[in-house]
Structures are given as C-alpha cells and as structure tokens.
Amino acid sequence: MSAEKSGKFDFERFLRKAFKHPLDWLASRLLKLGITPNHITLFGLVGNIGAAVLIALGYLSWGGLVAGLMAPLDAVDGAMARLKGETSKFGAFLDSVIDRYDELFLFGGLIVYFYNEANFVGILLTFLAATGAVMVSYTRARAEGLGLDAKTGILTRIERSIVLIIGLLFSKPIYSVGIIAVLANVTAIQRICHVWQQTKAD
C-alpha cells in the first residue's frame, strides 16, 4: 500500500517490519474469514468518520482513541494483499484515496470543534495543516506521474497521524495542528525543491 519516505529513514517501513509478525497473523485470520483488503480500507474510513464526529462534538480523547485504533488498518490491508499474493492497481489506488479522506475528515472534525469553541487560531491552523497534508501527497503523486521521485520530507502521513492522535488523546489538538501546519508545508516545499533539482537540466 502507500508508503512515504522521510529522508533516508523510512519510518513507515520500519514500523511495518517491526510489527510484521502480528500483522501477518491478523491478516491471515481476516483472509480466512473471507474479508478482503478493500473491506479493511473501507472499514477504516467508516471508523475515521466516527472519530471525526466525536471530535466535532468535543469528545477529543474518544475521537483520538478511535482514530488510533483505525490507524494500523492501513498496514493490515497491505499485509493482507501481500499474503494473498495478489497485486491490485485499484486496491492501491483506493487505499491512497481513502488515506486522504481519513485525514481530511479528522481535520474537518477539528474545524467544527474549534468553531464551536470560537477558536479562530485553531481553525486557521487546522486549515493550514490540512493544506499541508494534501500538498505533501499531491507533490509526490504529481512528481511520480512525471516519472520523478518525491519521497523526501520530514513529516509524511504516518508521522502526521501520530502527532494528531497524540494531541487528541491529551485533549490538546491545537499543538498537533500547529506542528502539522508548519512541518507538513515544509515537507511539501522540500518535495518541490527535490523535484526542481531533478529537472534543472531540462
């Protein structure tokens, strides 16, 4: 499934390798039940929508807990696809698209929460965080569509998820969106510069 690298150290790959055995165990059990990787992907979307609703209603810790439970599912569906021995272009496409929806629903829940709290700074930071998150993904997708590499950057999707979930669990989302607002946009700029370096000779 989708994997974004952060510089020389790929944190997502490290986590997948560290938790390979429990992931494979769970994936094999789900496959035996007739569940497909796409089912898990869509279940994660439903769960994150539920988390977003909890966040919007002000239940930040509960929303963070639900989002935290949904986060590993991206690795589970990838393990299922690997164990199945089937590579599906649509499955990979669906996974990437749902990843974006997952993140944006959570940010949407936070915007509603900050609006209800009359917290203009929170709304602005959440908007900037969502913008950065989208641009990190878009710069990579656009670069790869041109046959270029754009896997660099300091705050990729899995790191954003961890930062956001921690802030929610401690009911301090303003710090999470502040960090993401800055570092996600820095990551997008890093990718733009990285692509520019590859095209300077054109």
Higher pLDDT, 63 or 4: 63
pLDDT of residue 1: 40
Does the residue 135 lie in any domain?
yes
- pLDDT per residue as tens digits for the range 35-58: 888 899 999 999 999 999 999 999
Residue listed under structure tokens 């569940």: 35
φ, ψ dihedrals at 130, nearest 5°: -65, -40
Helix (H) and strand (E) counts in the chain: 9, 0
Q: Write the CATH number for 179.
A: 1.20.120.1760
What percent of the chain stands above pLDDT 90? 60
Rg over CA atoms, the chain: 17
Structural domain total, the chain: 1
Whether 99 is catalytic is yes
The first and second tokens of residue 201, run together, are: 């000779």
Question: DSSP label at 73?
Answer: H
Query: What average pLDDT score do residues 96-121 get?
Result: 96
Catalytic residue among 99, 102, 149, 202: 99
Domain containing 182: what range?
Answer: 11-196
- pLDDT per residue as tens digits for the range 90-108: 888 898 899 999 999 999 9
Q: How confident is the model at residue 201 (pLDDT cuts 50, 70, 90)?
A: low
Does the residue 5 lie in any domain?
no
Name which of 49-63, 81-95, 178-192 the model is least confident about.
81-95
pLDDT of residue 86: 67
Give the alpha-carbon dihedral of 45, 46, 48, 52, to 10 degrees: 130
pLDDT of residue 5: 40
Does the residue 201 lie in any domain?
no
DSSP letter for each residue of 70-121: HTTHHHHHHHHHHHHT---HHHHHHHHHHHHHHHHHHHHHHHHHHHHTT-HH
Does the residue 4 lie in any domain?
no
DSSP letter for each residue of 120-171: HHHHHHHHHHHHHHHHHHHHHHHHHHTT------S--HHHHHHHHHHHHHTT
Query: What average pLDDT score do residues 55-79 get?
Result: 92
Residue listed under structure tokens 């021995």: 85
Does the residue 91 lie in any domain?
yes
